Chain A
């Protein structure tokens, strides 16, 4: 039945194919090593494609702000620095999530201990849907930090394709180049300040605040309806434990939305924070002086205008100052 396998023709063709496949495998391996070495010498900040992150590691800021777009538009690090007399930087990024920033946090904690870490929470921090986030911010960040075992294990669970991709050394170095190219094309009109991580947002003149009554919260952003991810929950708990172990102060904030509408915070995440002896503050309730009904403070429903960010950041600065003073007192 298997006579055809023993013919000279079959054997020679089979070995030729196998030989070429092995040769191709080794060629890719060698190229991977050569290219990564080449890029390594060309770019000092190897091992990451995140330029802001490198900047923070170098400057060792006292206060770091993490979160999604709201953390870049609502928190003016310059104002917070002024109020607290501490250096401050926002590592938030639009569309980001806790899971995307988790690898960075771990990496920074290994480098140095900031005086305070501020987390701006969204309503979807534990949403399982984030694991399949197509734009790949989550997996991209994990990829870059996949040398770390905990991140490698996490990545394997989140996205097997990207986990495989992380095995290729070249990726990390070329991602640095890709980031540089992206920098060249960054929208010139953007007011993003790379020294602060602040990205003030002007008011959209077309946004009709007077038309907003009650926008229903989308199902995927409502913590009462979305499915919680055990993977993200575990990563979040691990981060809390790591912060406690390293005795780094951390606070979790929810900055005000226009008329306090929009995302509600996941009760599960506040429970986890409190269980680990950390503090969660809903700033819309904590800051009585901040008028969250004032539409001049907002560029849209969720994000503040530069005016709002300035007022809000001053109050956050005072809040942090008192908090750190209390902690020192204790």
Chain B
């Protein structure tokens, strides 16, 4: 059941209707049931893992509060459990491959066995939510959640379980215990976000994705110009895909009266530096890494050297979190080095420049981010070398791709960019709410028709499902 499928919307209408018919005290039961059903419909075999993770972390939270003298041991148990699950499903095979390479290099007759289990969808997201909770309780920032129901629905809440945003216990526990009366504003904002998210995913991301995949599946066949354009299109695909998911997730949560964390603030259009980009992009992960890795690592130190080490550590974790393989680690390291460079040179801090300089900075940031994303998109170093070899050919014929992709790409990209420029630091739902009614309604209808006409209705998967 994808966010872009008809069954999901039927499911949503049923759950929202029952939710508002039920008295407040029963609503979390409904949300939990709906969330488990949703996860079961996506990946039935791993629902048990989610439940086990919930029970273990719930128990650890209470134990951490109760047995303060053993909190170090309990925290270690929590870290081992959560990171262990993540390691086993996500990195075990990769780690095994590296060890086996070393063994064979030394002619040792040893092999680390590989498993053939597929990655549970959303594991990186809900494990980080659980870890965040454990660390918050350990540091005494929040009290352990006594209600198993609240804790279960916190980890499994269906709008965010598959791809985040990575919510914080402090914010969500409170919301799960609040009454959420039926409010028109929540519905209006929810629908706005869902509609915009569907546009981003089905019109922008899926159509660009079809083109980008066609090129990257056959790199040597393409010209320099095509490869440059594809590299510049990929960030838009990635953003529209993940940003679209987040908008739908936030919109769906809004229908129930919940406010999920803002995950993007127009990162690809308005960032004036890579530092600025990371303040705007995938905020829930970046802030998680900052709060749970960078700050604890820094302690009270203000030394530049330690700050830079902290940045490297944070983005190493980000690279590893995103995926398996050296390419993600390289991508993470490039981000860290760019941030360190900007801090050292003061590039990231410049303010009050002219419009032209501002535009140049934004464009150059986009190009730098797009170039670094090659490591994110291309699965192996050999693909990257292939890419560099092919781009150096200096050929300028252009691959148009499947002609049916041309109209949606030409229409949707300018629309996305214009809206993002107008949004700047505002959120889409709030921005639209302030527009005149006529303009707003015309916008809704235009987006609706664009989705129906150009949208890929075959419910392709979201990129971040792989993470």
Residues of A within 8 A of B (CB): 1-5, 9-10, 13-14, 16-17, 20, 24, 27-28, 31-32, 35, 132, 134-136, 160-162, 164-165, 168, 170-171, 174-175, 177-178, 181-182, 185-187
B69 at the interface (CB under 8 A from A): no
- Taking CB atoms, residues of chain A closer than 8 Å to B403 are 182, 185-186
Give the docked Cα–Cα distance between A3 and B181 (Å): 12
- Taking CB atoms, residues of chain B closer than 8 Å to A4 are 23-24, 181
Give the docked Cα–Cα distance between A291 and B449 (Å): 53
Q: Chain B residue with minimal CB distance to A178?
A: B407
**Given known contacts A2-B23, A170-B453, is B448 in contact with A28 (CB within 8 Å)?**
yes
**Contact in complex: A165, B452 (CB < 8 Å):** yes
Task: Return the contact of A185 from the options B183, B406, B453, B454 (Cβ within 8 A).
Answer: B406
Give the docked Cα–Cα distance between A3 and B23 (Å): 8
Q: Chain B residue with minimal CB distance to A23?
A: B441
Give the docked Cα–Cα distance between A28 and B449 (Å): 8
- Taking CB atoms, residues of chain A closer than 8 Å to B400 are 185, 187
Cβ of A89 to closest chain B Cβ, rounded Å: 20
- Taking CB atoms, residues of chain A closer than 8 Å to B407 are 177-178, 181-182
**Contact in complex: A16, B448 (CB < 8 Å):** no
Please list the 3 inter-chain residue pairs (A to B) with the smallest Cβ-Cβ separation, ordered nearest first: A182-B403, A161-B457, A178-B407
Give the docked Cα–Cα distance between A122 and B402 (Å): 21
B110 at the interface (CB under 8 A from A): no
Q: Chain A residue with minimal CB distance to B410?
A: A181
- Taking CB atoms, residues of chain B closer than 8 Å to A27 are 441, 445
10 A-B residue pairs with Cβ-Cβ distance under 8 Å, sorted by A, are A1-B23, A5-B21, A10-B20, A17-B184, A28-B449, A160-B6, A161-B458, A165-B457, A170-B452, A177-B407
Q: Contact string, B5-29, partner A, CB cutoff 8 A, digits 1/0?
A: 0100000000000001101100000
- In residues 388-413 of chain B, which contact A (Cβ within 8 Å)? 400, 402-404, 406-407, 410
Q: Chain B residue with minimal CB distance to A136?
A: B458
Cβ of B451 to closest chain A Cβ, rounded Å: 10
Question: What is the total number of residues of chain B having a CB less than 8 Å from a CB of chain A?
Answer: 28
- In residues 428-467 of chain B, which contact A (Cβ within 8 Å)? 441, 444-445, 448-449, 452-454, 457-458
**Contact in complex: A24, B6 (CB < 8 Å):** no
**Contact in complex: A162, B188 (CB < 8 Å):** no
**Contact in complex: A170, B457 (CB < 8 Å):** no
Cβ of B226 to closest chain A Cβ, rounded Å: 13
Task: Return the contact of A14 from the options B182, B188, B402, B454 (Cβ within 8 A).
Answer: B182
**Contact in complex: A162, B445 (CB < 8 Å):** no
Task: Return the contact of A162 from the options B20, B24, B410, B457 (Cβ within 8 A).
Answer: B457
Q: Contact string, B223-245, partner A, CB cutoff 8 A, digits 1/0?
A: 00000000000000000000000
**Contact in complex: B449, A170 (CB < 8 Å):** yes
Give the docked Cα–Cα distance between A32 and B182 (Å): 31
B187 at the interface (CB under 8 A from A): yes
**Given known contacts A1-B23, A35-B449, A161-B457, is B183 in contact with A135 (CB within 8 Å)?**
no
User: What is the predominant secondary structure among interface residues of chain B facing chain A?
Assistant: helix
Given contacts A13-B181, A161-B457, A181-B406, 17 further A-B contacts (CB under 8 A): A3-B23, A4-B23, A5-B21, A9-B182, A10-B20, A13-B182, A17-B182, A35-B449, A134-B458, A136-B404, A160-B6, A178-B407, A181-B410, A182-B404, A185-B406, A186-B403, A187-B400
Cβ of B219 to closest chain A Cβ, rounded Å: 16
**Contact in complex: A17, B406 (CB < 8 Å):** no
Cβ of A86 to closest chain B Cβ, rounded Å: 31
- Taking CB atoms, residues of chain B closer than 8 Å to A187 are 400
Cβ of A289 to closest chain B Cβ, rounded Å: 36
Q: Chain B residue with minimal CB distance to A15?
A: B184
- Taking CB atoms, residues of chain A closer than 8 Å to B406 are 181-182, 185
Q: Which of B181, B402, B452 has the most chain A CB atoms inside 10 A of its CB?
A: B452
**Contact in complex: A168, B452 (CB < 8 Å):** yes
- Taking CB atoms, residues of chain B closer than 8 Å to A32 are 449
Q: Chain A residue with minimal CB distance to B187?
A: A17
Give the docked Cα–Cα distance between A182 and B452 (Å): 18
**Contact in complex: A31, B404 (CB < 8 Å):** no
Give the docked Cα–Cα distance between A181 and B444 (Å): 24
Cβ of A76 to closest chain B Cβ, rounded Å: 23
Give the docked Cα–Cα distance between A305 and B184 (Å): 64
Give the docked Cα–Cα distance between A178 and B406 (Å): 9
Cβ of A217 to closest chain B Cβ, rounded Å: 22
Q: Chain B residue with minimal CB distance to A7?
A: B181
Q: Chain B residue with minimal CB distance to A24?
A: B444
Cβ of A324 to closest chain B Cβ, rounded Å: 36
Give the docked Cα–Cα distance between A24 and B443 (Å): 12
- Taking CB atoms, residues of chain B closer than 8 Å to A177 are 407
**Contact in complex: A174, B453 (CB < 8 Å):** yes
Give the docked Cα–Cα distance between A10 and B21 (Å): 10
Cβ of A115 to closest chain B Cβ, rounded Å: 32
Give the docked Cα–Cα distance between A109 and B412 (Å): 38
Q: Chain A residue with minimal CB distance to B4?
A: A161
**Contact in complex: A10, B441 (CB < 8 Å):** no
- In residues 62-105 of chain B, which contact A (Cβ within 8 Å)? none
- Taking CB atoms, residues of chain A closer than 8 Å to B188 are 20
**Contact in complex: B452, A171 (CB < 8 Å):** yes
Cβ of A60 to closest chain B Cβ, rounded Å: 27
- Taking CB atoms, residues of chain A closer than 8 Å to B457 are 161-162, 165
- Taking CB atoms, residues of chain B closer than 8 Å to A10 are 20, 181-182
Give the docked Cα–Cα distance between A212 and B458 (Å): 37
Cβ of B328 to closest chain A Cβ, rounded Å: 28
